Each structure stands twice: as C-alpha cells, then as structure tokens.
Structure 1
Amino acid sequence: MKRMQGGMTLIGFIIVLAVAGVFIYMGMKLIPMYSEYYSVKRALSEMSTDAEVQVADPAKIRDLFFRRLYVSYAENVEKDDFKIARKDAGWEITVDYEVRKPLIGNLDVVGHFTAKQKINRGGID
C-alpha cells in the first residue's frame, strides 16, 4: 500500500505569498489615506463643540481647522478643498478632497473623500 502525501508545493506556496504580498502592499497605500480622512472628520467634530469656533468668523474657522490638521500630519487637504457656507443659525463646513497614490507601475489608487459638519453660532441649537 503506497501512501500519498498531500500538501502545497513550493510553487503554490510562492504564489500564495505573492498574492498576500500584493494585498499587504495595497493596504500600506490605503491605510494612510483613510487615517487622514478620519483625522479630518475628527477635526471637524472637535470644532463643532469648541466655543472659540462657535463665535468665530469664516477666516478664523478655516485657520483653526488647518491648525488641527497640521497637528494630525494631514497633508493632502488643500485650502481650496475647504468650503464654508452659512446654514440656518450657523455654518456648514464641507471638506471635499482627492488623494492619488502610485500603486504598481503606472497604476494609481485614487481616494475621493468628503466630510461635512454643521457648526452652530454662539451655542444655539
């Protein structure tokens, strides 16, 4: 009676490692993009509860937002990506930006992110 061994060949193992490596590499490109997006959302959320922001003019609000992003090392949000508009009794801030990172060769990964936050003036709900 002959016994048959089962398992993965060396070629199969190398292919599995290559596929796993590609996914890990893609994760290394995508995770910083989403981390920056959550920094933007966190900055907007913190600004909505900050008393200084609630009584500030749009130029001051913009300055405070970009100071918070500077602390978070968010570098893909530009001044043109920040929009502020009067809404009801306060302001509505919209941050709409795009991140493009090279992936492999001539392939890029592109992320388009939008975050909105309403800020009430003077603590009025």
Structure 2
Amino acid sequence: MNATAKEVMEYCLTKKDAYIEYPFGEIPIVFKVRKKIFAELYPNPEDYKITLKCDMVLADFYREQYPSIVVRGYHCPPVQQPYRNTIWIDRINKEILFDMIDHSFLQVIKSLPKREQIDFSEYL
C-alpha cells in the first residue's frame, strides 16, 4: 500500500521537534529538525515525490533495489546528490518509505552537535 501526502506529512511531524517550513515557496513542503532539512515533499499528483537524506552506501542500495522509483536527489547540487534520494511515493510501499524517512531523520540527528544529540537519545 502506498502513502498519501497527508500520511507522509503526519508521519514526518511525529518526529521529535519536527516542523514545516516553506523556504522555496509553496512546494516543496520542507520538514526540518533544528533548522536542518530531513524531508522535502512534493505533494502534487503529477509530481508526487519526496527527497530524503541518506547514508551514501544505503542510498546506492536503495537506487539499485528500486530502479526508477528511487533516484539521486534530482534537484540537489552534485556534491549532495550521493547523500540524497528522491523517491516516487506512489510507486513504493508505505512501510519502506516510512523506514526511509526514519533513516533520514536519524542522519540529520547524527549531524547535530553532540550537546544537541542528547535531546534525541531515544533515536540514537
């Protein structure tokens, strides 16, 4: 079963201290924690996708496992592309997508200063 845009938004907002911003206009809907992006949602049916942060090795694995469904972060600068995946939401199972969102959130938490990571010990 695939996730609806509403389900994706609600799931992203279940993450501790997660919030929405619109730094690029109405779209994408950007989910952040501590001023760092962990998800960018494009909710329009004709362009229904999400871009997530990902460990480089795992990002390659997802691209190989789900060709044409998971691709390099298409809009990211080349230096960031190995660490970002864009996923076509209507072509992937909801549980797998939510696991990817969890991983993205964790990657952002791990990049925070150690003193801030303490606030997220339940994720680490």
**Fold shared per TM-score above 0.5:** no
Between Structure 1 and Structure 2, the one with more strand by share is: 1
Between Structure 1 and Structure 2, the one with more helix by share is: 1
Greater Rg, structure 1 or structure 2?
Answer: 1
